[in-house]
Each structure stands twice: as structure tokens, then as C-alpha cells.
Chains A and B, each alone.
Chain A
Amino acid sequence: MKKFVNDPATFTDEALAGFAAAHRDLVRIGAGPTHLVRVDAPVADKVAVVSGGGAGHEPLHIGYVGPGMLDAAVPGRVFTSPTPDQVQAAVQAAAGPRGALLIVKNYTGDVLNFETAAELLAADGVPVATVLVDDDVAVQDSTFTAGRRGVGGTVLVEKIAGAAADRGDDLATVAAIAAAVTAKVRSMGVALGPAVMPNSGEPSFVLDDNEIEMGVGIHGEPGRERAAMATADEIVGTLLTAIVGDLPFTAGDRVLLFVNGLGGTPLAELYLAYNGARKYLADKGIEVSRSLVGNYITSLEMPGLSITLLQLDEQTTMLWDAPVHTAALRWGR
């Protein structure tokens, strides 16, 4: 498989260096174990919002560092959680006396490394709170798995928690708002094919020509079933039926509809899927009042998409609309 690689061992470092150089008005690479912070970190008198996880999901999380969203991002190797010392260094560089909120996707590696980092930071007297994002409805039975995964909803949690921190909320309030968003957001994804790991050059899984992976995770982990290829509206209907039925979302709800590309799907197909999703939700009496369409949490070059619905209230809408200036999301300033 052809890929743009010089040396697999330096793949993530080279990509991060390029990102930091391209966006040096917004971010810088911090000293010590690898992490990325706002160029003006630590920002006085605000709670720091910090997230991280394996690389390969760009623009998550590095593309969301900047005013109104994240104060720091901690990238690991491709699809591999960062280490506790990286998280610790990022929080120390980004946080002041008001402390830091850690936003963690519910994957075993991320949870274990951020948990260890939170213990180390607490021992150093840094006020830290953690919110686990677990919005993936494809994982049905948490008793026999590591629990629901954190996927598309993570982007929305980072934006809204970032806005709360930006307006001056304290750590407990920012954490409570992030937890409330997590409770009201649901997602599910589908892959038409695999991603290819830069370390091995091997596809993460193999599908037959007419097969799709329904309920795929952002590392290519399977969810519900291998299904037969279908029309876009049928696939969107399957995803939304699972999502809407889970919370559940009901007639009269106002929602944010987020159609996300996994890295290898053209924008035209994402907008086509978004169009189908609007029709599905209109039939259910669910009002789409905010939208996001594009590649915001990816899985390398995986062809596929995920759909995320967030139930909106007045405060959540206001925080979503608040100004943000990052490499990947920018409005209002």
C-alpha cells in the first residue's frame, strides 16, 4: 500500500512538527514529553481544557487547540494512547491555579494513561477533573465489553466545554457541562473499507467487495455486524435508527446533526448523507437547529462516515455558537 512515509518510527513526530509550523499563530510544541499547547499558554484565570489520544484521527485533537476550545492536546503514536508523562507535561504547561479538565475518549488505553496522569497531577496539587466520552451506540452490551467508545461526540464535548472555560466558568462547572453534553450525545459509524497503518502498511481489517462494517470504531474496531452494501439513505437510516432509539431522541427535540467523514469519503458523499439524515429526522419530528459536516474525527484514510446527534438546550446552543479559533473549527472571531 502506498503512503507518504519517510520512516515509520518518526511518522507522528514529523506530522506534528508540520502541524505546529503551519499553525504557529495558534499553537506550539511544548517542552519535555510530546504535547501541543496554545501559543499563549498558560492563559491566566481560566480553567484549562485538555484532551488527547492516539494520532491518526486528525484534526482531532491537535486541530482543536486554540481560543474557545482546547488549551492543550496530547497526541500518542498512531491509534495508541499517549503516555501519562505527556499528559502531565501538557497540563502543567496549560493549566493555572483554576485547574484542568481532561476530556478522555472511553478506550482502555486512553483511560488507563489519563487515569495514571490524573493521579500524578493530583499528587502535585493540580486541581484536575476528568470526563469520559462514551457516545458510540454501536457497542450494545457494556457488561461484556470495555464499554461504549468515545467517538464523534468528543468533538462536540471539546467545543462546548472549551466555550464554558473561555467565559470563565470554574472547574466543577466546566466538568458538569462536559458531562451533561456526554449524557445527551450519541453516535454511530460505518466503514466501507479499512484504514492502513503506517507502521505496517497493512489494512486494519478486510471486507469483501459488497460488505460494510456497521458500527465501526475510529480504529477500525468492529461494532454490530458486517452488513451488505446498501443505498446511502438505507445506511443512514440504519445508523439513525440506532442513534435515535438509544437516548431516545423524540419528536419536538432540537438537535445538532454532525455528519463526520472517517478520512476517505468525499465531501459530496458526506453532504448527500447529511441530506438523507435531515429527511429521516424531519419524518420523526426532530428539528435540526445546528449542523456540522466534514472530516473532524478520522481514522486515517478509512472510507466511511459517522453520524452524531446532540440534544440541544439553550445553554448548550449558546456555548456551541460561542466564538472559536482553531486550525479545524473557526467562527465568530
Chain B
Amino acid sequence: MGCTAETTAAAIRAAADAIAVNRAELTSLDRAIGDGDHGDNLARGFAAVITKLDAEVPATPGAVLKLVATTLISTVGGASGPLFGTAFLRAAAAAGEAAELDAATVAAALGAARDGVVSRGKAEPADKTMVDALTPAVDAAEAAARNGGDVAAVLAAAAEAAEGGAVATTPLQARKGRASYLGARSIGHVDPGSRSSAYLLRAFAAAAAG
């Protein structure tokens, strides 16, 4: 089954739930190497997204993703707002006007999202950022799509790879964002943005699996 506006909206709702449930953990991770508000800021943004989706679900998957993007950009603040907002905005552009997305398009949208984060935040792999969760996720999603996987399989592969990528940020020294000021003291902590990225992808995968 492909990905429609309704299933995209359901995936976004699942993502909002995941952020709300894990809000305290994300904030606590951020307190260790940032400024201690990542979970709160993302939760506020996704709560605003849900309010808009409750009022009206846009007509296409791309339009749903664009609504998520503009809402996150205008409600989250910090670095996370523009970074997650840009990710969803680029994914929306990749989705285009199609009423239903196939597995290859979903993988391509994930790739566009990752590229958007890289161009906005200028982070490279192993800088200890959300890019370290998104890049293995994109690689896994593209491989799954090439091997004939459906949307659920593509997202499940992405989620698993993102979770691994988030854990793999632990031994890294941060070179971007506020955590970079810790230098070697940032080693030994999971990057909060990589963890929240993995939560989003896991929620998308669970929603797609039904």
C-alpha cells in the first residue's frame, strides 16, 4: 500500500505522540550536552501541528508534510525549528503533488530531508548531530526500496538504522551546535537531535505497519 494524505497524517500523529511520551528523556539528553529544552521545544511544535491537522488534513502527502514544516519553523525556535522544518519542507517538495507515494518516493523524500538538514546546518557525518541518524536511515531506506520493499518496509529499515546511528553518536565529540562548546566533554552522551530523529522515524514505521 502506498502513502496517502490520510496515512501521512496518521504517521505525523504517531510522531507527535512519540515526542510527547519521550519529551522528558529528550530534554534530559539536551541538559547533558546542550541547554536542556529539546524535548519541550519539539513537543510544543508537534502539539501545534496536531491542532492544525485536527482542523483540516491537507489533500496530498506533500501538503501534509509542508504543513508540518511551516508549523515547526514558526513554533519550535532554537536550532531544531529551522532544521526539522527544512527537513519536512524538502520532503514535501520531493513528494510533489502526488496523491499517493510509493516506496521509492518515500525513500527519495527521506534523502531530500537529510540533504536539507545538511545544507541548512552545514553538519558533516560524525559531527554528532541529527545527520548521524538521518544518513544511515536514508541509506537503509534506499536499499530497502531497491530490494522491492513497500513503504512500511522502507520506513522500518530507516527507523532501525536511525536508532543505530543515534547510539553511535555516543562516543563522538560534537563539532556543531551548542554541544560543540563542551569539546571532549561531549563524548559519552547521545546527541538529542539524533535520538528525536530516530523516534520520528520509528513512529512513521509503526504507523505504516498499521
Interface of B is mostly: helix
Interface residues as binary, B166-199 with A (CB distance below 8 Å gives 1, 0 otherwise) = 0000000101111011110100000000000000
Q: Is A82 an interface residue (CB 8 A)?
A: yes
Q: A85-B74, A108-B121, A197-B36 are in contact. Are A80 and B181 (CB under 8 A)?
A: no
Q: Are B35 and A79 in contact (CB under 8 A)?
A: yes
For the A-B complex, the count of residue pairs with Cβ-Cβ distances under 8 Å equals 104
Q: Which residue of A lies closest to B70 (CB)?
A: A85
Q: Which of A219-251 contact B (CB under 8 A)?
A: 219-223
Q: Are A112 and B83 in contact (CB under 8 A)?
A: yes
Interface residues as binary, B78-98 with A (CB distance below 8 Å gives 1, 0 otherwise) = 111111000000000000000
Interface residues on A, range: 35 or more
Q: Is A316 an interface residue (CB 8 A)?
A: no
Query: Min CB distance, A264 to chain B, in Å?
Result: 17
Q: Are B120 and A77 in contact (CB under 8 A)?
A: no
Interface of A is mostly: loop
Q: Which residue of A lies closest to B40 (CB)?
A: A199
Q: Which residues of B contact A112 (CB under 8 A)?
A: 79, 81-83, 120-121
Interface residue count on the B side (C-beta < 8 Å): 30
Q: Is B60 an interface residue (CB 8 A)?
A: no
Q: Is B49 an interface residue (CB 8 A)?
A: no
Q: Are B178 and A84 in contact (CB under 8 A)?
A: no
Q: Which residues of A contact B41 (CB under 8 A)?
A: 77, 80
Q: Is A260 an interface residue (CB 8 A)?
A: no
Q: Are A84 and B73 in contact (CB under 8 A)?
A: yes
Q: Are A146 and B78 in contact (CB under 8 A)?
A: no
Query: Min CB distance, B156 to chain A, in Å?
Result: 31
Q: Which residues of B contact A210 (CB under 8 A)?
A: none
Q: List 7 A-B contacts (CB under 8 A).
A: A77-B37, A80-B35, A81-B79, A85-B74, A112-B83, A146-B176, A217-B178
